[in-house]
Amino acid sequence: MKKKIIIHLEDLTTAQEVLLQELLQTFCVEQIEVLEDITSTLLVGDLQIDVRRRQVWRAGNLIELTSMEFDILYLLAHHPGKVFSARQIYEAVAADSFDASWTGISSMVYKLRRKLGAGIIETVWGHGYKFIVPGISAKLK
C-alpha cells in the first residue's frame, strides 16, 4: 500500500526537518508532494516559485529566469523525484515554441543549474532529469 506524505515545508522548524529526514530515510519514501497554497506559490525547501508572477527566489534572492527556464523548473518542482526525459520536458513546456527543440532541453537545464545552484536538478543518466527537494531529498541518496 502506497501512502503520500503531504508537507508544508515553510511550517517546519529545524528540529522537525531533522525528524522528517529520519522518517523519510527509515521508510524509503521516494516522493514528497508539496502543496501549492492559495497564493499560487510553490515552496520547496529554500526555493519559492511564484506561479502568478513567474518569479523564483532561492534563500530570499530573486533569480532571473527565461520563460522556458521557469516552465521547466515549475514542471520538475511540481513533481519532486519524478524523472522526466528531455523529450517529455519539451512536450510539456516547449512544443509550441519556435526557439527550442527537445535536444536543446539539456542546455536549458544546464543554465537553470547555474542560476539555481547545485543540488536542485539531478541528471538520471540515460533517463532524464528530476527535481531534488533542497535540504531533504538530496540527503536521502
Cell numbers representing residue 79 in the block? 513533481
pLDDT 10s digits, 27-68: 444 444 444 444 588 888 888 999 989 999 998 899 999 999
Fold category of 6-140 in CATH: Arc Repressor Mutant, subunit A (1.10.10)
Classified as helix, coil or strand, 129 is strand
Give the pLDDT score at 41: 83
Q: Within 10 A of 9 (CB to CB), how many other CB atoms are there? A: 20
CA dist 54 → 49, 50, 62, 75, 137 (Å) = 7, 6, 11, 13, 24
User: Which ranges of 79-125 would DSSP assign to H, the alpha helix?
Assistant: 86-93, 105-116
